[in-house]
Amino acid sequence: MMRRVLVFLVAAVFTLPLLPSGAFGQEPVKLTFWSWRTEDKWAYDRIIRVFEQRNPGIRVEFIPYRNVEYNTILSSALTAGRGPDIIHLRAYGGLETFAAPGFLAPLDVDKVPELKRFPLQTMVGARSRKDGKIYGVPFATQTLVVFYNRKIFREHNLSVPRSWDAFLALMKTLKDKGITPLANGAKEGWTLEVLSGVVAPNFYGGTTFFEAVTRGQTTFRDPTYTNALAKMLDLRPYMPQGFMGVDYATMQQLFLNEQAAMFIGGSWEIGFFKEQNRNLDFDVFPGPPERADQVPWVSSFADGNYGINARTPHMDAAVKFIRFTATTEFGQMFTDLLRQLSAVPGVVVRDPILQHVQAMNRKATPYIMLVGFRWQAPTGSTLLQSALQAMMAGQMTPAQVGDEVTRGLSSWVDAFRR
Amino acid sequence: MPSGGRREGRAEAASPAPAVAGVSGARAPARGLSLQTSRRLWLVIFLGPAVALFATFVTYPIVSALAYSVYGWEGIGRREFVGLGNFVRLFETYPYPRLLANAFWHNVIVFALTMLVQNLAGLGLALILARGPVGARTYRVVFFLPVTLSLVIVGFMWALFLNPVFGIVNKALAAAGLAGLARPWLGDPQTALVTLTLINAWRWLGFPTLVFLAGIQAVPDEYLEAARIDGAGEGEVIRRIILPLLAPSVTIIVTLTFIGAFNWFELPYVVQGVSGPPNRATDVLGLLFYRTAFGEVDTGLQDIGVGSAIAVLMFIVMGAVATFGALYLRRREIELA
Amino acid sequence: MTPASRRPRSLWSPLAHAVLMANAVLVLVPMVLMGLSAFKTTREIFQRPFGLPATWSLANFQRVWVEARFGDYFQNSLIVTVASAAILVVLGAMTGYALGRFQFRGNDLLYVYFLSGLLLPIRLAIIPLFILMRNLNLLDTLWSLILIYAASGLPSAVFILTGFFRTLPADLDSAARIDGASEWVIFTRVMLPLVRPALVIVTIYNVIPIWNDFFFPLVFIKSDRLKTLPLGMTTFFGQYYTDYAALFAGLTLAALPVIALYVVLSQHFIRGLTAGAVKG
């Protein structure tokens, strides 16, 4: 028995590929491009093919990892001086983690002249707070909205609600008719933060409050903010039964299968919904304001950036690719294929739903925690998401949520220390 | 293989302590120097490869990771030496102390509940199976099946069964007229941790069952016969003879359960994600460490310093408990045997 | 003796059988549901999760098999699992023997040293491990996985085996020693056969997590041809993360080899586990 195991082992050992696989010979430069967008691989592959045709000496391989492991893998690799040449990065504080310690190559305007065309506001998510330099090319702007099923609305003679009360009345009508009004659940905290990003800005006064709180003139204990959060509680009766246990995938399935009439989420869902159920007749509307005569605020943010590994051996080729991602041509393909708003200026939006999103963005306010309070740990998002779960479960009041977030943030937001 | 030796072993071990001491006792008398040297050589041969492998691929990386706790960090870049700075932050900066206590308490609950539910049930099943009921062989095979499944499969499957919208559990309750009991098992702060522990028990139950079964079947039949002839009831046989002789199996199971409970990570990670929802109701030390050091999917930043400080604490607490526990159990084992 | 001669008491029997049956159902139902779901479409899984599939289509399996390079991944998993389990069982037995049967200074210290490896998930050392593998030039090789699995499985192996070696009677090896047998012969011919149940426990306890692990392959393996089954499956799920039908087919396919192996070997395995009593 022992001997047989040994023989097998020896055999196995000899068949093992002993050396790391590498490129041989005078091949074209091969760039690796890591990302957490597993679901977008097909689109990136197509866009990359266009780039490769223009630049015959360069090959780019798009390698996506699951979002839950992406940070760990990227951190390990970069710390060990490895990692990809091109890095798909998140924005704001998520970029800072890698930029501040010097793992990313700064992209000045000499290197990537295309960046000059980007509006200043878009670049906030790509700039390091430490040295003020730019470390990435922004790829998309996301907006938080309410998705609704047009067929269900038509069947029940419902129209898009213009005020909060109309919104609640509409949901009551749907519920009375036996339809789950909202697909949203609370099992994954980030979906609750998104929910707050749609509901709250109209009640806390959008950018005015954002500026005040980021400048330290007020805190999240401010009733202006906590009363806005309290509005989320109005939605509880209209969420699926057992909504505390409803996760993101279930939310999507409920809306896709037309089992729920509405879905509060981000503009990145448009492409996914269309791809998953071609017959789904849906559109979007902004989170309803208090009164019908108000123009609603929508939360929006720079989604992320493409950056360059500071230690890439192929800097020239990498810069070439990065410049490509800053062109209108790239942005157009990105928007057409993925149905997301490219961050590149001059892109024409053809998708009607995306056009609606674009129109709403005329009164956009920064997605409050992501833009303002994700710069150090514990982040505002982390604190808010957990506290919102407690609030939705009835364990915390909105005032306690505000207190919890402010207290947690006070470890690095000086103005929040009393 | 001869099982005589094994029985003798038990029989001899019945007289306390010497069993272990005897191992050396037989060899201790001074022999030639060459024997001493050859013994040393053999020790090196037996121990060397394992020590080398373990030191290189476990000790060295873990010590390096623990050492991260005494450095300042800028994102993922290591900076200056800060001494106990990260520990001070961990204990003094809200919300870390609360998260730490919360997670630790959950580990304690998971351990207690696993002992109570999984291991007691395993013992019960083993006692029944040891009596050789019809189909015992099949049952043994079936009970162990879930242990062979990957946690990804187990977690995913149960999450779907417990899904409040699509899941069978609530539907089954409703069908049984118990709709009032239906709840979002994994999303309700009251039930999430218990549910998760039960999923874990479902997956692992076969393991203690088989370990205990092996232990029971190793009990010499003469002992059982003798006790029964003396008129001992079944309960008494179990309490007086089987349980004491089961001590080595109990040590294995208790220790592995303790360790499993305190570095529990995989299942909560697969089922609930890294943030221990809802509102940290399923947070455990393993998740807290991982989340702090590597960030919360895409909303949290990495704090490798504080994360490593959490790991150091886990190491110290578990090390202390495990060392004392193992010593205590080993002593008891010897006394009981 | 055989278990059957343990005189089951009729009084207990109905209750005992009810308990066994209930547990068997509890174990089997979820597994059967998983298998059934592999034949359904995604929409069917969500809308009728517990009914029989509308059609018994193998399309899901086909997709997983073709698109997910199942065969290659399977082979890599097999190599990694067998090699690391073999290393850790051999080294674990040698260590357990030395620690359980030899009295020497530092014995307890070494025992505790190995035990300390049980206290922390090795995953927490991922950054130093990555740097170590880079320095050893082992990144993107199956060796990186084999060495980590073998090393991190050692503590449990040492813990279990040392305990078993300690319970063996003292005169066994001393008798052999007086007969002039070499240490290696005593170890392999006399002692090892006696701890067979423990070897089985150690193997099972370690093989399953090794076979199922996806974390280390995820971090260390970059080439597609070197991916292990769980990693291949995870990557595949990543791209089709809402395609539950394909997911269940993949899960079933991934679970099947282990279950089949276990069922085939179960009699062997259980006999090994309970060897002390079964053979007379």
Residue A26 pLDDT level (bands cut at 50, 70, 90): low
Check residue C61 and give its pLDDT.
Answer: 84
Residue keyed to tokens 């017959």: A279
Q: Which helix (H) or strand (E) holds A149?
A: strand A137-149
Per-residue pLDDT band for A3 (boundaries 50, 70, 90) equals: low
CB contacts of B19 in chain C (<8 Å) are: 166-167, 169-170
Mean pLDDT, rounded, for B84-96: 92
- pLDDT band of residue A4 (cuts 50, 70, 90) is low
Q: Does position A234 have pLDDT exceeding 80, yes or no? A: yes
A134-to-A126, A142, A296, A301, C207 alpha-carbon distances in Å: 6, 20, 32, 17, 48
Q: Is A99 on the interface with B (CB under 8 A)?
A: yes
Q: C214-259, pLDDT tens digit by residue? A: 788 878 888 878 888 877 776 666 555 567 777 788 878 878 877 8
Q: Which residues of C touch A253 (CB under 8 A)?
A: 46, 242
Report the residue from A64, A69, A276 with minimal CB separation from C242.
A276
- A316 vs A16 pLDDT, higher one: A316
Residue C139 — pLDDT band, cuts 50, 70, 90?
confident
A14 burial level (CB within 10 Å; 0-12, 13-18, 19+): exposed
Whether pLDDT at B25 is above 80:
no
At residue A320, the pLDDT reads 95
Helix (H, G, I), strand (E, B) or coil at C261: helix
- pLDDT of residue B334 exceeding 70: no
Please give the distance of CA A368 from its chain centroid, rounded to a whole number: 13
Q: φ, ψ for residue B80 (rounded to 5)?
A: -70, 165
In this predicted structure, the answer to whether residue A355 has a pLDDT above a threshold of 90 is: yes
Distance from C-alpha of A320 to C-alpha of A317, rounded to nearest angstrom: 5
Distance of residue B326 Cα from the nearest chain C Cα, in angstroms: 10
Mean pLDDT computed over every residue of chain B: 82
B220-234 pLDDT per residue, tens: 788 888 888 888 887
Higher pLDDT, C260 or B34: C260
Percent of chain A with pLDDT over 70: 93
Shortest Cα distance, chain C CAs vs residue A108, angstroms:
31
Per-residue confidence (pLDDT) for residue C116, from 0 to 100: 84
Distance separating alpha carbons of residues A235 and A227, to the nearest angstrom:
14
Residue of B139, B216, B248 with shortest CB distance to C163: B248
Tokens 């046989």 belong to B237
Which residue reads 């890698």 in tokens?
A98
Taking residues B76-98, report their average pLDDT.
Answer: 90
> Can you tell me the mean pLDDT for B115-122?
95
Query: Which of C83, C137, C225 has its CB closest to that of A9?
Result: C83
DSSP B221-285: HHHHHHHHHTT--HHHHIIIIIHHHTHHHHHHHHHHHHHHHHT--HHHHHHH-TT-SSTTTT--H
For residues A88 and A32, is the Cβ–Cβ distance under 8 A? no
What is each CA distance from A256 to A199, A240, B125, C46, C185, in whole angstroms?
22, 14, 45, 11, 68
C-alpha to C-alpha distance for B136 and B134, rounded to whole angstroms: 6
Looking at residue C190, what DSSP letter applies? I
Q: Is B193 on the interface with C (CB under 8 A)?
A: no
Q: Which of A242-246, A300-304, B25-29, C253-257 has the lowest mean pLDDT?
A: B25-29
pLDDT at position C100: 85
pLDDT score at C269? 66
Model confidence at B31, pLDDT cuts 50, 70, 90, reads very low
Q: Is the Cβ of A183 closer than 8 Å to some Cβ of chain B? A: no
Phi, psi at residue A396, to the nearest 5°? -135, 150
B188 near A CB under 8 A = yes
Q: Which of B23, B60, B151 has the CB atom closest to C170's CB atom? A: B23
DSSP E strand boundaries for A243-281: 260-266
3-state SS, one letter per residue, for B53-87: HHHHHHHHHHHHHHHHHHEEEECCEEEEECCCHHH
The pairing of strands A180-182 and A298-308 is unpaired
Q: Which residues pair with A137 in a beta bridge?
A: A306
- Alpha carbon separation from B279 to A339, A412, B195, C254 (Å, rounded): 33, 22, 16, 33
With beta carbons less than 8 A apart as the criterion, state whether A146 and A287 touch.
Answer: yes
Question: Is the per-residue pLDDT at A362 higher than 50?
Answer: yes
The most confident of A244-248, C53-57, C118-122, C270-274, by mean pLDDT: A244-248
Q: Is A145 left (phi over 0), alpha (psi -120 to 50) or beta?
A: beta
Instruction: Say which range, A226-230, B280-284, B296-300, has the weakest mean pLDDT.
Output: B296-300
Cβ neighbors of B47 (< 8 A, separation 6 or more) are C94, C95, C98, C99, C110
Q: For residue A142, is pLDDT > 60?
A: yes
Q: How many helices (H) and strands (E) does chain C have?
A: 15, 0
* Percent of chain B surpassing pLDDT 90: 33
> Chain A, 78-97: which have a CB under 8 Å from a chain C CB?
79-82
Would the pLDDT of A14 be above 50? Answer: no
Tokens of B262: 């305190």
pLDDT of residue C117: 85
> pLDDT tens digit string along C178-214?
887 888 888 888 888 888 878 888 888 888 888 888 7
Mean pLDDT confidence for B180-189: 92
Residue pair C210/C150 in contact by the 8 Å Cβ criterion:
no
For chain A, say whether C241 makes contact (Cβ under 8 Å). Answer: yes
* Alpha carbons A60 and C151: distance in angstroms, whole number: 36
A404/B75 Cβ within 8 A: no
Q: How confident is the model at residue B34 (pLDDT cuts 50, 70, 90)?
A: low
For residue A99, give the chain B residue with the closest CA. B75
Confidence of residue A323 (pLDDT cuts 50, 70, 90): very high
The segment with the largest mean pLDDT, out of A355-369, B136-150, C30-44, is: A355-369
How confident is the model at residue C80, as a pLDDT?
A: 94
Question: Which of A240, A369, A374 comes nearest B165 by C-beta?
Answer: A240
What does the alpha-carbon distance between residue A65 and residue A73 come to, in Å, rounded to a whole number?
9
Where is pLDDT greater, at A104 or B166?
Answer: A104
Separation in Å, CA of B237 to nearest CA in chain A:
38
Whether residue A69 and residue C218 make contact (CB cut-off 8 A), yes or no, is: yes
pLDDT of C87 reads: 95
For residue A387, what is the nearest residue in chain B, using CA coordinates? B279
SS3 A84: coil
CB < 8 Å to B24, chain C: 102-103
Mean pLDDT across B278-304? 84
Pairing between strand A260-266 and A364-366? unpaired
More confident position, B337 or C57: C57
Which chains touch A (3+ CB pairs under 8 A)?
B, C
Residues with Cβ within 8 Å of residue B332, at least 6 apart in sequence: B247
The token pair that represents B62 in the structure block = 């873990």
Mean pLDDT of the A244-263 span: 93
Residue A136 · residue A126 · CB < 8 Å: yes
DSSP structure string for B96-121: HHHHHHHHHHHHHHHHHHIIIIIIHH
Q: Which amino acid is at A314?
A: H
- Residue contacts between B and C (CB atoms, under 8 Å): 321
Q: What is the pLDDT of residue C236?
A: 66
CB-based contact A94 B74, cutoff 8 Å: no
Contact A246 B163 (CB under 8 A): yes
Q: Which of A182, A244, A370, A373 to mutate to test the interface with B (most CBs of B within 10 A)?
A: A244
Residue contact B75–A96, C-beta within 8 A: yes
Which helix or strand (DSSP H or E) is residue C29 part of? Answer: helix C13-37
Contacts of A247 in chain B (CB under 8 A): 159, 163
Q: Is the pLDDT of residue B13 over 80?
A: no
Distances (CA, A) of B329 to B227, B248, B333, C103: 26, 9, 6, 20
- For chain A, how many residues are written? 418
How do residues A363-384 score in pLDDT, each as one tens digit?
999 999 999 999 888 899 999 9
| pLDDT tens string A78-96 | 988 889 999 999 999 889 9
Using the predicted structure, report yes or no on whether residue B102 has a pLDDT greater than 80. Answer: yes
Q: Is B58 on the interface with C (CB under 8 A)?
A: yes
ipTM: 0.85
Q: Which of B322, B291, B321, B282 is nearest to B110 (CA)?
A: B282
